[in-house]
Amino acid sequence: MTDWLSPEEWAAVRLSLKVALTAMAASLVPGILVAFLLERGRFWGRQALDVLVHLPLVLPPVVVGYVLLLGFGRRGPIGSVLAEQFGIVFAFRWTGAALACAIMGFPLLVRAVRLSIETVDRKLEDAAGTLGANPAWVFLVVTLPLIMPGIIAGMVLSFAKAMGEFGATITFVSNIPGETQTLPTAIYTLTQVPGGEAGALRLTLASIVISVGALLASEWLARRARRRFFA
């Protein structure tokens, strides 16, 4: 089973999964929060936040990666503080790849969640209030279950984006085997060296398997969530 891929190739697959799952998990709570702020909030600067969140969708990924390098690099204003105060380093680490992927996938996650918040009937939340629920309860017991399909969709998009992210990752954390070399960068590297075609093909297959698996898993989850509401 394991000799289907070489150890280096396995490392790329494992790293890609780790990076994508980390990126997805880390952006989940902020994503839901931002989606709520943008959908329900009435505050100064809402428009600016909206633009900021959507920038990674419209900017070339290389530009996003370079901005991350400037900001979160070892000498960057944010990177240096994080490294000195908390010992958190992003530059040329897998955590940096996860950060790049999280940011690239963030607008997709926010959009999906936001769409589902928009469809929530506010009367359902109002009713909960009149039945004695405080806002936290209303969110947990009413709103969250209702937007679950949107959250699942957002998570899949975020995961898929992370699995395919190339430009921002390679610009920000380079292409270090075992540390920052994810599936796409590994495939790219293999296509650049003589005799790498077979490896590239194997990794391509692995990538297809993972993507299809993610899609099926999300379909299954979404169907479970939806079955209780509609069907």
Partner 1 sequence: MANVSIRDVRKSFGATPVIRGVDVDIQDGEFVILVGPSGCGKSTLLRMIAGLEDITSGDIRIGSRVVNDVPPKDRDIAMVFQSYALYPHMTVAENMAFSLRLKGTSKEEQKRRVQEAAASLGLTPLLDRYPRQLSGGQRQRVAMGRAIVRDPQVFLFDEPLSNLDAKLRVSMRGEIKELHQRLKTTTVYVTHDQIEAMTMADKIVVMHDGVVEQVGAPLDLYDRPANRFVAGFIGSPAMNFIEGRLEENGLALRSGAILPLDMRPAVPIATMLTYGIRPEHLQIAPAGTPETIPATVSVIEPTGSDTTLIVKAEGGNLTVLLRERCALKYGEEIALKPVPFQAHLFDEAGRRIASS
Binding stretches for partner 1 (CB under 8 A): 121, 123-124, 126-134, 137, 142, 145-146, 228-231
User: What is the smallest separation between the CB atom of 188 and partner 1, expressed in angstroms?
Assistant: 45
User: What is the smallest separation between the CB atom of 137 and partner 1, expressed in angstroms?
Assistant: 6
User: What is the smallest separation between the CB atom of 226 and partner 1, expressed in angstroms?
Assistant: 10
User: What is the smallest separation between the CB atom of 224 and partner 1, expressed in angstroms?
Assistant: 11
User: What is the smallest separation between the CB atom of 119 and partner 1, expressed in angstroms?
Assistant: 11
Of residues 75 and 123, the one with the C-beta less far from partner 1: 123
Of residues 121 and 219, the one with the C-beta less far from partner 1: 121
Of residues 12 and 148, the one with the C-beta less far from partner 1: 148
Determine the angle formed by the axes of helices 46-58 and 61-72, rounding to 10 degrees: 120
Of residues 132 and 195, the one with the C-beta less far from partner 1: 132
Of residues 4 and 229, the one with the C-beta less far from partner 1: 229
